[in-house]
Structure 1
Amino acid sequence: MIEERLNKVLKIMENSSVPQMIVSDPAAIYYLTGKWILSGERMLALYISLKGDNKLFINELFPVKEDLGVKKIWFNDTQSPVEILAKYVIKDKPMGIDKNWPAHFLIKLMELNGGSKFVNGSEILDRVRMCKDEVEKDLMRIASALNDKAVDKMIKLIPKKYPEKKMGKLLGDIWEDMGAQGHSFDPIIGYGANAADPHHEIDESTVKEGDSVVIDIGCKMNSYCSDMTRTVFYKTVSDHSREVYNIVKEANKRGIEKVKAGVRFCDIDAAARDYITEKGYGKYFTHRLGHSIGIEVHDFGDVSASNTDKVQIGQIFSIEPGIYIPGDVGVRIEDLVIVTQDGCEVLNHYTKDLIIVK
């Protein structure tokens, strides 16, 4: 187990009066052990407790030879894994359950009186994972540097007028050539009217003169995710589209400048959103300003009007304002930031100057 991370989780468990917890999410198990185990429908459970008798319950189909610093309890397909797990829990104490444990396992443990009560332990791990340690920050820098290079390659492909789907396939090749583990999410490549759909699914559309081109991509590298968006224009840009672009660029700048430990997430959202609204385009900014990111492209937490939590040093999240005018133009500019002592470090360095691709 990665002791520093485990100890942070145990401290919050103690403060929350949760003496024991079952962690089943593969990403959370990776965070605590450094090992990815994808068990499909079979039970995978990391049991952690304040008493220190931590155990990993795992099917024999998934041999883990490494010493993960936790005792492994093996079972096979002919056994009931929950009955085995129930032998080790503290039955007269509350049990925390993380968010992704299938109901049929949970209900079985409840029937076996596997705790005095069952509580949602999701936020315990989620909130620890929100603040990245130095190792994680370096891994995020590496993944983001690859993203900068990939965006440059994608922009240079636009004059070839490949359909969006072909561009998506070529991006997969780019990640492979770079040694990445593939996409961190389904890429968004939108030409023209498609650029005005914030979550456009790539299709067979091709680029036309005057189109805005939204490129929202990310890779997974060393199990950490990158995510960034740049918007460029093909051959020409109208005065109206240029105005929209510059407003989004300024909103991105204002959002980033607002980031500082102790500031509320909702106030960061407002710094960008209020500017777009002031310029008359508020109704066309239709999503939150950003999301947390790390092992998963959408980690727990976001930058939105409803999030009154205060920013903490070490958190990593996106700043991605956009304006989407149906049938006209779409622009989004996105960077990832790490919260530092004095503000933030921007992880993406690809230019945000307006580019007209010839």
Structure 2
Amino acid sequence: MIQERLKKVLRIMEEEKLPQMIISDPSAIFYLTGKWILPGERMLALYITLSGHDKLFINELFPMSEGIGIETVWYNDVQKPVEILAKYVEKDKPMGIDKNWPSHFLLRLMELKGGSTFVNASGIIDKVRMCKDEREKELMRNASKLNDIAVGKMINLIPKKYSEKKMGKILSDIWEELGAEGHSFDPIVGYGVNAANPHHVMDGSTVKEGDSVVIDIGCKKDSYCSDMTRTVFYKYVPEHSKEVYNVVLEANKRGIEKAKAGVRFCDIDAAARDYITEKGYGKYFTHRLGHSIGIDDHDFGDVSSVNTDIVQPGQIFSIEPGIYIPGEVGVRIEDLVIATEDGCEVLNHYPKNLMIVE
């Protein structure tokens, strides 16, 4: 499987006449090698070539228990890693660089290899990663199952009136109990007016009667991410909040109904956005409809009004419409879907019907 992924990358490099490439993103390196290496500020570079002289450049601080089938070049903290890498780079040939390589490494390599052309080649690895194989789909299903359980536990805690911050701390314990590897992103618990901030940072606020409660959480399991949002209400639902909720729910359903291989991402976005606009809440839907997900919570690609790419079978992305009325109410409902030829598979199964927590 790992070798097949590398072959796909090399095939695209050949098509694009790119003889060599440096990959530095730890997620991409994990995808191609099966090994997680988190180097911090130190240089990590997977150098792959059409000539077969592939090498992994890594600091000695990050030993691996076993090989990865690629020659490893080690360096230590008193050596200059870019100079070591430069000795292996094929002279005067185009070099692909991924978008995450720190500029101080790139600029030094450009100084040392002035005759080479450097191009952003991130699209190559992104294209390979965006369509999940059957193993990846199963891992995503497993992570989402844990998320279904966790969001139920979080909702059941609302009557205890814990602060948002306390809810976040409890979620960490829930992930540990469920056997997850931790959060896939910084979780969001927003009460009342805080729910109207799409990326609210949890604080000491506590829930009040009539509040909407936005819970946007996800975990990592076996290195793959889950992500889901549910909105519930505490004690009762104000009439206007009920209307807002039902509009968001219908938009979520329309986005899911539109999602399938062969359609454009922008048309999926429009299916949800146009309905929200029609109902008079367009200016309160302030973000794209969704994002791709896999090893990273935000993989390459999104579901937005400007993305005219065609959905491919096996792509996994979120459908998460929201309405955020400052000072009043916020509602978001998010599901992950796997695109298929004739529709999509929804990965989240926690109920979406309007829920009042007593």
TM range (shorter): over 0.9
Equivalent-residue separation in structure 1 for 2:280 and 2:85 (angstroms) = 58
1:7-61 CA-to-partner distances (Å, cap 9, x unmatched) read 1111111122211100011111001000001111111110001112111111112
Note if 1:41 corresponds to 2:41. yes
1:286-310 CA-to-partner distances (Å, cap 9, x unmatched) read 1000001111111111000011111
Report the CA distance between 1:65 and its aligned residue: 2.8
Which aligned pairs between 1:145-294 and structure 2 lie closer than 5 A? 145-294=145-294
C-alpha contact 1:90 1:114 (8 A) present in aligned 2 = no
SS at 1:136's partner residue? helix
Q: Which amino acid counterpart does residue 82 of structure 1 have in structure 2?
A: V
C-alpha contact 1:21 1:49 (8 A) present in aligned 2 = yes
Tell which deviates more after alignment, 6-15 or 146-155.
Answer: 6-15
C-alpha contact 1:195 1:331 (8 A) present in aligned 2 = yes
Q: What is the match of residue 335 of structure 1?
A: 335
Tell which deviates more after alignment, 24-33 or 77-86.
Answer: 77-86
Give the direction of change, closer, same or farther, for the CA distance of 1:9–1:115 in structure 2 (3 Å limit). Answer: farther
Give the direction of change, closer, same or farther, for the CA distance of 1:48–1:114 in structure 2 (3 Å limit). Answer: farther
Q: What is the match of residue 15 of structure 1?
A: 15
C-alpha contact 1:215 1:230 (8 A) present in aligned 2 = yes
1:97-141 CA-to-partner distances (Å, cap 9, x unmatched) read 011111221122112217621000111111211111111111111
Give the direction of change, closer, same or farther, for the CA distance of 1:115–1:351 in structure 2 (3 Å limit). Answer: farther
Give the direction of change, closer, same or farther, for the CA distance of 1:313–1:115 in structure 2 (3 Å limit). Answer: farther
Structure 1: which 5+ runs fail to align?
Answer: none
Note if 1:311 corresponds to 2:322. no
Equivalent-residue separation in structure 2 for 1:14 and 1:218 (angstroms) = 37
Q: What is the match of residue 141 of structure 1?
A: 141
Report the CA distance between 1:329 and its aligned residue: 1.0
Equivalent-residue separation in structure 1 for 2:125 and 2:32 (angstroms) = 10
Equivalent-residue separation in structure 1 for 2:328 and 2:230 (angstroms) = 18
SS at 1:276's partner residue? helix
Q: Which amino acid counterpart does residue 336 of structure 1 have in structure 2?
A: L
Equivalent-residue separation in structure 1 for 2:212 and 2:233 (angstroms) = 4
Q: Which amino acid counterpart does residue 209 of structure 1 have in structure 2?
A: E
1:56-98 CA-to-partner distances (Å, cap 9, x unmatched) read 1111121113120101111122222112211212112100001
SS at 1:336's partner residue? strand
1:302-336 CA-to-partner distances (Å, cap 9, x unmatched) read 00001111101111100000111111111100000
1:215-234 CA-to-partner distances (Å, cap 9, x unmatched) read 00001111111100000000
Q: What is the match of residue 51 of structure 1?
A: 51
Equivalent-residue separation in structure 2 for 1:115 and 1:250 (angstroms) = 56
RMSD: 1.1
Equivalent-residue separation in structure 1 for 2:40 and 2:284 (angstroms) = 40
Q: Which amino acid counterpart does residue 57 of structure 1 have in structure 2?
A: F
C-alpha contact 2:132 2:314 (8 A) present in aligned 1 = yes
Stretches of 4+ aligned residues off by more than 2 angstroms: none
Equivalent-residue separation in structure 2 for 1:234 and 1:115 (angstroms) = 65
C-alpha contact 1:89 1:115 (8 A) present in aligned 2 = no
Report the CA distance between 1:340 and its aligned residue: 1.1
Give the direction of change, closer, same or farther, for the CA distance of 1:115–1:301 in structure 2 (3 Å limit). Answer: farther
Q: Which amino acid counterpart does residue 235 of structure 1 have in structure 2?
A: K
C-alpha contact 2:58 2:75 (8 A) present in aligned 1 = yes
C-alpha contact 2:131 2:313 (8 A) present in aligned 1 = yes
Equivalent-residue separation in structure 1 for 2:196 and 2:39 (angstroms) = 39
Equivalent-residue separation in structure 2 for 1:82 and 1:251 (angstroms) = 50
Q: Which amino acid counterpart does residue 126 of structure 1 have in structure 2?
A: D
C-alpha contact 2:262 2:341 (8 A) present in aligned 1 = no
Q: What is the match of residue 113 of structure 1?
A: 113
Q: Which amino acid counterpart does residue 244 of structure 2 have in structure 1?
A: V
Equivalent-residue separation in structure 1 for 2:81 and 2:323 (angstroms) = 50
Q: Which amino acid counterpart does residue 334 of structure 2 have in structure 1?
A: E
Q: Identity of paired residues, percent?
A: 78
Q: Which amino acid counterpart does residue 86 of structure 1 have in structure 2?
A: A
C-alpha contact 1:284 1:324 (8 A) present in aligned 2 = yes
Equivalent-residue separation in structure 1 for 2:188 and 2:348 (angstroms) = 18
C-alpha contact 1:90 1:115 (8 A) present in aligned 2 = no
Q: How many residues align?
A: 358
1:229-275 CA-to-partner distances (Å, cap 9, x unmatched) read 00000011122111111111110000000011110000000000000
SS at 2:233's partner residue? strand
Equivalent-residue separation in structure 2 for 1:64 and 1:281 (angstroms) = 53
Structure 2: which 5+ runs fail to align?
Answer: none
